[in-house]
Amino acid sequence: MALTFETHPEIPDALRAALVDIWTDATNAGGAIGFVAPVDREAVDARAFRGFTVGKDLLLVGAEAGEPAAFLVVEDHQFSLMDHVRILKTVVVHPKHQGKGYGQDLLREAEQVARTLDGVEMLHLTCRGGLGLEHFYTKCGYTEVGRIPRLLRVSADDYRDEIHMALSL
């Protein structure tokens, strides 16, 4: 089954609740999405989408059979020297849908959405080192453009690099 995609310039409450559930499940299945497992729904809900700016950012949701299965945020940097760039945040596929190619589909759709935005020439994202995520993004056409060693602390003695990836449109 294929995903159908929809963009949202704001996040309706019912959809937000479903996405927080996906985010929580994906984190607890080992996903590197801003939290460290185990995490409860309330912790995710308290921080979910707090940087989302209505009128600037877009939520992209991929649904299977009408139910959200994957999502990401296309975020405006809100910095005039970066008006030509959007950052992809919170790239998530629900664990029960992983292995179906939905992550690649989601990134391809994000690329298509970005091409419709006036003046956007590049997509940028970051990922947590130590999990091989950069290899997935490379397969999707992104190039590693830098990394900051030990920027992310996932536990008292476990530091990870933050890896920066970019895709020219």
* Per-residue pLDDT at 11 exceeds 90: yes
Domain layout of the chain by residue ranges: 4-168
Which residue in this structure is represented by tokens 């790239």?
A: 91
Q: Is the peptide bond before 12 cis (omega within 30 degrees of 0)?
A: no
pLDDT of residue 79: 96
Position 31 confidence tier, pLDDT thresholds 50, 70, 90: very high
Q: Give the pairing type, strands 58-64 and 4-8.
A: antiparallel
Opening angle at CA 11, ends 151 and 166, nearest 5: 40
* Per-residue pLDDT at 1 exceeds 90: no
Q: What is the CATH number of domain 4-168?
A: 3.40.630.30
pLDDT of residue 137: 98
* Per-residue pLDDT at 24 exceeds 90: yes
pLDDT of residue 116: 98
Per-residue pLDDT reduced to its tens digit, 34-89: 999 999 999 999 999 999 999 999 999 999 999 999 999 999 999 999 999 999 99
The sheet carrying 4-8 orders its strands as: 4-8, 58-64, 67-76, 85-93, 122-128, 158-168, 143-155
pLDDT of residue 119: 97
Per-residue pLDDT reduced to its tens digit, 103-150: 999 999 999 999 999 999 999 999 999 999 999 999 999 999 999 999
pLDDT of residue 4: 98
